[in-house]
Amino acid sequence: MRMYDLIMKKRNGGILTEEEIQFMVSGYTQGQIPDYQMSAMMMAVYFQGMTETETTALTMAMAHSGEMLDLKDIAGVKVDKHSTGGVGDKTSIALAPMAAACGVKIAKMSGRGLGHTGGTIDKLESFEGFTTGITAEHFKRQVNEIGISIMGQTLDIAPADKKLYALRDVTATVDNMSLIASSIMSKKLASGADAIVLDVKTGSGAFMKKEADAFALAREMVRIGNRAGRKTIAVVSDMDQPLGFAVGNALEVQEAIATLKGEGPEDFTQLCMTLGSYMLIAGGKAKEEEEARNMLQEVIANGSALRKLEAFIQAQGGNPAAVHQPALLPKAAMVEEITAPQTGFVEKIDCEEIGICSLLLGGGRETKESEIDLSVGLILHKKAGDYVEAGESLATIHANDRQKLMMAKERFLKAYHMTPQRVAKRPLIKGLVTE
């Protein structure tokens, strides 16, 4: 078997066999197939596409390219949640303790962020001492004991995906549906969960700008998961404006904590309830959505979800006192208001631009080597559809550098679009994909 022949086959619209895909993935991972040949294959896939069978085979080959995390030592159904990412997306920090408090086993692998704000791990490191650098044994023991653990992605999980993604990133082949789906799902399958709930974002702040594309990606990933024997459900949600009010690492942590106290923003709470309901159903703790929602509301009302967060933070070396004392979380030196230049309704918010504001402040990474400032970010006071008077605060900006603050402030004002007419509010949940 030769890589040259496989490139030609795909270039001409042929369908690769499982054996051919396995040969290609293992050869590239082991350094036997050069970058230039794999680049040619990725471009052929980009233009010719892949069938469902090819996409599943690619996913499984990438998942099996390294260590497959074995979670059989953890009792019960293990449920993982994955978001395609967005601005202000701190869902795991609130959702994981909520689901765990309802008895679902949360054994989750997360990564660091590259872009607007930090990833889940970066945000959790707002708790002094917190670490995800734990052994697989510690990880499993913790899930058995308290029902929740989040560990960092090891180098051994889906190494083929790491190599392929880096290549796609520099060859303009990132935005192909099959390649996106296989990249996400290979890591999820290798992480060992029995069931997977996906949050697929759509809108100006999402990777999938068009709703139809988001649903297509959701269907692709759900089919892959189900074909691999994992119960997989996808929720398609709006990311045409930031989720919740907080954008920035420690600020988002505070908002997640407020949500566990029943004081979170309406949209963020709704998303946690929706995703959480399907996690409970997938985990066998509830039969239908209403029952699941009632259970989630109960663990917030009785404080057990908040206590679960405390136990989780403490188990992984963090200071649990910060759950009740936000002053212990990183704080920026400068806090200023951004006021509205005119009266009217917020017509729309350029979500990606708000994310870039956080990045400019130091809240995200432009490169993998960038250091994140966990204390900076923004708290929005007005969302799409809200009425605002001239001079009223649109947002509070948290910064540690005057120049960065001014740059972010200027950019922020350009991201808000005002109109004199009343604006209808967009639904947060766009739909559900189960097959």
pLDDT in tens, 218-253: 999 999 999 999 999 999 999 999 999 999 999 999
Verify whether residue 187 is a known catalytic residue: yes
Verify whether residue 381 is a known catalytic residue: no
Bridging pattern class, strands 231-238 and 195-202? parallel
- Cβ proximity of 90 and 244 under 8 Å: yes
**Where in the chain is CATH 1.20.970.10?**
3-49
Q: Average pLDDT for residues 347-376, to the nearest whole number?
A: 87
Q: Is the pLDDT of residue 113 over 80?
A: no
Q: Average pLDDT for residues 398-406, to the nearest whole number?
A: 96
Q: Is the CATH number of domain 331-419 3.40.50.300?
A: no
- Cβ proximity of 252 and 93 under 8 Å: yes
Other Cβ atoms within 10 Å of 256 Cβ, number? 25
Q: Please state which CATH number belongs to domain 3-49.
A: 1.20.970.10
Q: Is the pLDDT of residue 153 over 90?
A: no
Report d(CA 124, CA 117) in Å as an integer. Answer: 12
Report d(CA 82, CA 95) in Å as an integer. Answer: 11
257-309 per-position pLDDT tens digit = 999 999 999 999 999 999 999 999 999 999 999 999 999 999 999 999 999 99
Q: Which of 82, 116, 201, 430 is catalytic?
A: 82
Per-residue confidence (pLDDT) for residue 79, from 0 to 100: 93
Average pLDDT, the chain: 92
Verify whether residue 285 is a known catalytic residue: no
Verify whether residue 393 is a known catalytic residue: no
Res. 103 pLDDT band, cuts 50 70 90: very high
Give percent helix, percent strand, percent coil of the chain, each to the nearest 5: 45, 15, 35
Q: Which of 126, 178, 183, 186 is catalytic?
A: 183
Burial of 426 (0-12, 13-18, 19+ CB in 10 A): middle
**Where in the chain is CATH 3.90.1170.30?**
331-419
Q: Is the pLDDT of residue 109 over 90?
A: no
Fold of 79-323: Pyrimidine Nucleoside Phosphorylase; Chain A, domain 2 (3.40.1030)
**Where in the chain is CATH 3.40.1030.10?**
79-323
Structure tokens, 185 = 């799902």
Q: Is the pLDDT of residue 82 over 70?
A: yes
Per-residue confidence (pLDDT) for residue 425, from 0 to 100: 86
Q: What is the CA radius of gyration of the chain?
A: 22
Verify whether residue 110 is a known catalytic residue: no
